[in-house]
Chains A and B, each alone.
Chain A
């Protein structure tokens, strides 16, 4: 299992939109619509913000949206806020009850 590829860092100003990509293979991201995204403020518990590519859990702002095309999934954060500064991790089901995470992206709010 190779980790999914994410940009190391993405930045934006408050109010802007940013998109984080998550590139896998035809055995994980491309094979299943089971991509999830997690927001992680270091020292705290990671938080599920998107599952099944596009679905938001209850309580998650609609500023977060997900999509997928082929082997690449994406997370878009619109109306960037200071609290969005965190690490973001994608994850895909990879078959056989296994999972693979991405390399992680640090989001900086300028």
Chain B
């Protein structure tokens, strides 16, 4: 059973870069059994898929964030990272990392972190 834990600054200034990490335990981020995802929830809204990163290095991004978002895997620390640049107040949200089974024709998120509230404000 995977355990995921998000960490990072709770406050980021407008125009700066939001950087978060997701520590994974119970499995290796380099495994070919899973791929890794970031999802966020803005205040009063539903969940929003940001993107996915595979241990192969492949990444897939929500088109709405593609120009500002970078997802990566750090195998030495067994964690997944998110960088979102040029943030505005609209990026204030709870950010979740989630795993998904890397299996042909399986499309769901089976383990989630508790989430981290990030506020964008000067």
Q: When the two chains form their complex, are residues A1 and B64 in contact, meaning their CB atoms are under 8 A apart?
A: yes
Q: When the two chains form their complex, are residues B110 and A98 in contact, meaning their CB atoms are under 8 A apart?
A: no
A-side interface size class: 20 to 34
Which chain A residues lie closer than 8 Å to B109 at the CB level?
A: 36, 38, 46, 48, 91
How many residues in B have their beta carbons less than 8 Å from beta carbons of A?
26
Q: How far is the CA of A97 from the CA of B60 in the complex (A)?
A: 7
Q: When the two chains form their complex, are residues A98 and B47 in contact, meaning their CB atoms are under 8 A apart?
A: no
Q: When the two chains form their complex, are residues A89 and B62 in contact, meaning their CB atoms are under 8 A apart?
A: no
Residue of B nearest to A57 (CB): B110
User: What's the A-B contact tally at a CB cutoff of 8 Å?
Assistant: 70
CB distance from B14 to the nearest CB of A (A): 25
Beyond A1-B63, A96-B60, whether A101 also contacts B110 by CB under 8 A is: no
In A65-106, which residues have CB < 8 Å from any B CB? 89, 91, 93, 96-104
Q: When the two chains form their complex, are residues B108 and A34 in contact, meaning their CB atoms are under 8 A apart?
A: yes
Beyond A100-B49, A101-B48, A102-B46, whether A48 also contacts B62 by CB under 8 A is: no
Please pick, from A43, A51, A91, A103, the residue contacting B114 in the complex, using a CB distance under 8 A: A43
Could you mark each residue 34-66 of chain A with 1 if its beta carbon is under 8 Å from any beta carbon of chain B, else 0?
Answer: 101010000111111001100001000000000
In B1-46, which residues have CB < 8 Å from any A CB? 4, 37, 39, 45-46
